[in-house]
Amino acid sequence: MIRVVTGGAGFIGSNFIFHMMDKYPDDRLVCIDSLTYAGNLSTLKSVMDKENFRFEKIDIRDRDAVYKLFEEEKPDVVINFAAESHVDRSIENPSIFLETNIMGTSILMDACIKYNVGRYHQVSTDEVYGDLPLDRPDLFFTEETPIHTSSPYSSSKAGADLLVLAYHRTYGLPVTISRCSNNYGPYHFPEKLIPLMIINALHDKDLPVYGAGENVRDWLYVEDHCKAIDLILQKGRIGEVYNIGGHNEKKNIDIVKIICAELGKPESLIKHVTDRKGHDMRYAIDPTKIHSELGWLPETKFEDGIKKTIKWYLDNEDWWKDIISGEYQKYYEEMYSNR
């Protein structure tokens, strides 16, 4: 079995590669990633020299390069993680989100049709459903919830999802889509809430909470997401969408307080800053379909996962120090100074 994983030098893609290389040691895995600011080749160093692993620096918007790779490898399965993934960046510069997330997805699917790939899996997000009100804890996103996006990021992901379903209906491409809630764990890029707060707290820097911090996210340990995708690839029904989430809703402010407590840092570091434009209030996944059809359940409790994650950042300073010493400094200044 030959699998192509796109975006494998990023957070979830790299964790997925580790899971798959471990579980299917005889299968070939080819990672393509254009190594944007969010992609880091050092993340993949433990698999880089394996005989059944190949890395190619390829942009999914580059049709010729994608076709050449597919011609060489003739993959059985393609799993698309490659994306511009940060909501705040999409608010500042939407166009690259449309190019990578929508155009890149269509090019990958064109390649799948041309080279007769047996399965295309699109890694999508719960953000395509928009948000839920805080005063209706009885409401959850199901696969039937209408698409209703808030940010350029979520709109680009929704556009991609619609295109994936259209390629299935129009061209018969065998597709599946997963829509997951917020992930956390090792190799999470420092611009995102949990790693940003861990790293700032370690430096006794301000912890910038947007608005009141009452917004709710449904956090899932990254390994559980990877296992869910693996299961969908094995047993998922073609043409179907599967929501992934573990009923673990937490307010942002509570997440930041947990991180302070775990690191022994004072809550006085917390600073409420100007809110994100169009900020979604609450995400909450109903995972009934993936549980009842495929038997998936999350394995890592938040209390354990957040401890493991913090320990990982403490043990892997080299990884994130390298990142925050470069371009990231400029990003942080632009995004947070005078906010």
Q: What is the DSSP code string of 18-87?
A: HHHHHH-TTSEEEEEE---TT--GGGGTTTTT-TTEEEEE--TT-HHHHHHHHHHH--SEEEE--S---H
Q: Any catalytic annotation for residue 126?
A: yes
Q: Which residues pair with 175 in a beta bridge?
A: 120
Q: Does 127 bind ligand DAU (CB under 6 A)?
A: yes
Q: Does 125 bind ligand NAD (CB under 6 A)?
A: yes
DSSP class of residue 285 equals B
Q: Does 298 bind ligand NAD (CB under 6 A)?
A: no
Q: Which does 87 bind (CB under 5 to 8 A by kind): ligand DAU, ligand NAD, none?
A: ligand DAU
Give Cβ neighbours of residue 43 (< 8 Å, ≥ 6 apart): 9, 14, 187, 319
Q: Which does 210 bind (CB under 5 to 8 A by kind): ligand DAU, ligand NAD, none?
A: ligand DAU
| One of 196, 290, 323, 324 touching ligand DAU (CB under 6 A) | 196
**Where do runs of H (alpha helix) occur along the chain?**
11-23, 63-73, 87-92, 95-97, 105-114, 152-171, 193-202, 222-235, 252-263, 288-294, 302-315, 317-324, 328-336
Q: Does 80 bind ligand DAU (CB under 6 A)?
A: no
Instruction: Give the number of other Cβ atoms within 10 Å of residue 19's Cβ.
Output: 17
CA distance 308 to 323: 21
Q: Any catalytic annotation for residue 67?
A: no
How many residues of this chain interact with ligand DAU, rule: CB under 6 A?
19
Nearer to ligand NAD, 10 or 208 (CB): 10
- Contact characters 225-254, ligand DAU, x per CB under 6 A: ---------------------------x--
Q: Any catalytic annotation for residue 153?
A: yes
- Kindly name the residue from 59, 126, 191, 249 that is annotated as catalytic: 126
| One of 86, 121, 265, 282 touching ligand DAU (CB under 6 A) | 86
CA distance 255 to 207: 11
Q: Which does 35 bind (CB under 5 to 8 A by kind): ligand DAU, ligand NAD, none?
A: ligand NAD
User: Using CB under 6 A as the criterion, which residues of the chain lie in contact with ligand DAU when the complex forms?
Assistant: 85-87, 125-127, 181-182, 192-193, 196, 208-210, 215, 217, 252, 276, 283
Q: Catalogue the active-site residues.
A: 126-127, 153
